[in-house]
Amino acid sequence: MKYSTPNTVLYIDGKFEKAADANADIYGQSLHYGYAVFEGIRAYQTHNGTRIFKAREHFERLKKSAELVHMPFNWDIDDLIKQTYKLLELNNLKDAYIRPLIYCAPNMTLVAATEVSIMICAWDWGLYLGHKLQKVCISSYERPNPKSTPIEAKVSGNYVNSILATTEARSKGFDEALLLDSDGHIAEGPGANIFIEKKGRLYTPPLGNILPGITRATVMHLCRVLDIDVIEKHLTVKDIKHADSAFFCGTAVEIAGIANIDEYKFPLRWTDTVGSTIQRTYKSLVLEKHNYEVII
Ligand code: PMP
């Protein structure tokens, strides 16, 4: 997959420059220690033009991530949103995945950064897990303990855990992993939150040991609009292996139905699940389709 062409433009610290000319210093904590924070955002081509979905929420979370790891964040969120729209325009992108990253100036110590840069890039990226139902296994890796690293922050270093979990899942013939938290409860996927369905109700792990997903919050909002019960509670492996259905949700994956967890195959046909209704409604919402407006 190529993420850029010779004409691709990036936003770095207030300026637009060619991706091909951009460079980052080798002597930095971001590269060496995974000490950087980032976001994953999507823009959609809607009948109202290209629209960045939940732009403010994502940049607010970027700010929170920076604060949680003691990085300075001196940017104005309205301006970052404006610059991101400009970036899409300069790259002629209508549907896009947008990746802001805050990374450190040269410094090889283990002391919090005082000087950072912000870079925003974007590329056209289809659904991260594709359209097919996912074969998922319970990972032998746990999500990082929130007492070890702020799990609510989207910190680059936390994603080594994600890479290990996905790699293990693929090596066993599965599509994706599902990780437990350090208390042995269901936490989340390597890059997505999880919902399970039982008797027409949805259940999802509470905040605390997971990334507070913006899609997760959107799904919960859609449930309220559609009068679907959604309950935040600690879930066990047994709970998921007695569920009717399950799905991942996240900006990159959107809503991805799950076929099975380990050997356990979900009994409900995906098209008959609440998840499938949420999947359709989510798409209408991000595309600003008229029928969603009527629903709310
Ligand atoms: N959990 C993890 C570990 C993630 O990386 C992501 C993707 N950002 C999510 C959940 C879903 O978050 P969001 O819906 O905000 O994209």
Distance between Cα 250 and ligand 1 center (Å): 5
Provide the domain count of the chain: 2
Domain shared by 147 and 183, yes or no: yes
The amino acid at residue 75 is: W
Residue 17 lies in a domain: yes
3-state secondary structure of 26: coil
Residue 23, Cβ density class (10 Å: 0-12 exposed, 13-18 middle, ≥19 buried): exposed
Q: What is the distance in A from the centroid of ligand 1 to the CA of 284? A: 20
What tokens does 36 get? 């950087």
Using DSSP's 3-state secondary structure scheme, residue 5 falls into coil
pLDDT of residue 290: 63
> What is the tens place of the pLDDT at every residue in 229-238?
999 999 999 9
- Smallest CA-to-CA distance from 87 within 22, 37, 138, 148 is with 22
Ligand 1 near 214 CB (within 6 A): yes
CA of 192 to the centre of ligand 1 (A): 4
pLDDT band at 166 (very low <50, low <70, confident <90, very high): very high
E strand or H helix that includes residue 46: strand 41-46
Provide the CATH number for the domain around residue 186.
3.20.10.10
| Region 37-46 average pLDDT | 98
Q: Which residue has the higher pLDDT, 10 or 290?
A: 10
Q: 40: domain CATH number?
A: 3.30.470.10
Q: What pLDDT, on a 0 to 100 scale, did the predictor assign at position 296?
A: 52
* 26 and 118 housed in the same domain: yes
Q: What angle do CA 199, 203, 205 make, to 5 degrees?
A: 160
Is 47 among the domain residues?
yes
Q: Whose CA is nearest to atom 10 of ligand 1?
A: 192
Q: Calculate the average pLDDT of the chain.
A: 96
Distance 21 CA to ligand 1 centre (A): 30
Domain that holds residue 252: 134-294
Give the active site residues.
Answer: 154
Atom of ligand 1 nearest to the CA of 253: 16
Query: Residue 129: inside a domain, yes or no?
Result: no
Last residue of a domain, one of 96, 124, 152: 124
Does residue 211's CB lie within 6 angstroms of at least one atom of ligand 1? yes
Cβ 256 under 6 angstroms from ligand 1: no
